[in-house]
Amino acid sequence: DPDTRLYAIWALGKIGDPAGFDTVLAASQSEDAGVRKMAAYVLGQLRDPRAIPRLKVLAEDRVADVRWNSAIALAQLRDSSGLPVLRSMIDRAALARQAELSSDQVEAAMISALKALSLLRDAESLPQLEKLAQDDPNLRVREAARKAAEATRGRGSTP
């Protein structure tokens, strides 16, 4: 049952036991996009650098949610391979082209990407971060962009 598999993978991430790594890694190869998406998320939560090669593959998945979770997980592991995906996640127009999302889902994706960008402190993303901090219509996105820009400039704490 796909739902049971999905929640089992999620539970392994919540438990955080490194012994679950191989099971989650295997799940990341599932045909079910929901399972791959959850596996990518959990691989980031487990913080095991052995996940980086698989996450790089998942960052090119045909399903946007899988790519997004993979890019965020890579950032949690301080690997910048997912930067192109993260940058597309903070571009409202690019998000609209990638998936059909509600405004709440767009903003949640943007905030998650901004938090990941804070971890990477990528100077090339700074102009885009500063523009969002000034101009985005959503206050939560603007605040997350401001924090990401500060972290990138070397000021403030990372989320």
Angle at CA 42, nearest 5°, toward 49 and 75? 50
Average pLDDT over residues 126-150: 97
Q: Which of 15-19, 23-27, 71-75 has the lowest mean pLDDT?
A: 15-19
Q: How many C-alpha atoms does 78 have within 13 Å on its Cβ side?
A: 3
**Does residue 159 surpass a pLDDT of 80?**
no
pLDDT in tens, 102-122: 889 999 999 999 999 999 999
pLDDT in tens, 58-76: 999 999 999 999 999 999 9
Q: How far apart are the first and last CA of the chain?
A: 35
Q: pTM for the complete prediction?
A: 0.91
Alpha helices in 77-125 (DSSP H): 83-89, 92-98, 103-120
